[in-house]
Amino acid sequence: MIVAGIGCRKGASQAEVEAAIDEAFAQAKRGRETLRLIATSDGKGNEPGIVAAAEARGVPLLRVSPADLEAAGTRTQSFSPRVKALVGVPSVAEAAALAAGGPKATLLLPRIAVGPVTCALADTNAS
């Protein structure tokens, strides 16, 4: 199962979120149809662009708690000093994808930025 972790600036549009997801799947050389879940932080879980992107793709949106983000933050690969100061994790997109994917999840693609949106992909390693 592939999880897309999303971080964004306030007000990012559905099109911007979907563009980031599409670019992440292209870079990971995976088909978009393998997306099973979109995850983001509790603080971004009501962003209209993220909610609309999940609805348009027909996948659930998981809002990850600060504690779960922090626990998964130790497995992230990239580091944003700004995000660390604001949210307490090195990368919201990576931590959200890893937290949603579970303890055995691994990053397929570290966070990429497309406009105001970051996206990271995690594989849950479920057989």
Three state DSSP letters for 67-86: HHHHHHHCCCCCCCHHHHHH
- Per-residue tokens: 26: 């292209």
Tens of each residue's pLDDT in the chain, 127 residues: 899 999 999 999 999 999 999 999 999 999 989 999 999 999 898 999 999 999 999 999 999 999 998 899 888 888 877 877 777 776 889 999 999 999 999 999 999 999 999 999 999 875 3
Give the pLDDT score at 90. 66
Decide if 123 contacts 5 (C-beta within 8 A).
no
Give the pLDDT score at 127. 39
Strand partners, 64: 41
For helices 92-101 and 66-73, angle between their N-to-C axes, nearest 10 degrees: 100
Q: How many helices (H) and strands (E) does the chain have?
A: 5, 5
Angle at 14 (CA atoms; ends 12, 16), nearest 5 degrees: 60
Give the pLDDT score at 73. 83
| Main-chain dihedrals φ then ψ at residue 30, nearest 5 degrees | -125, 150
Predicted TM-score (pTM) of this structure: 0.92
Can you name the CATH fold of 2-123?
Nucleotidyltransferase; domain 5 (3.30.420)
Strand partners, 10: none
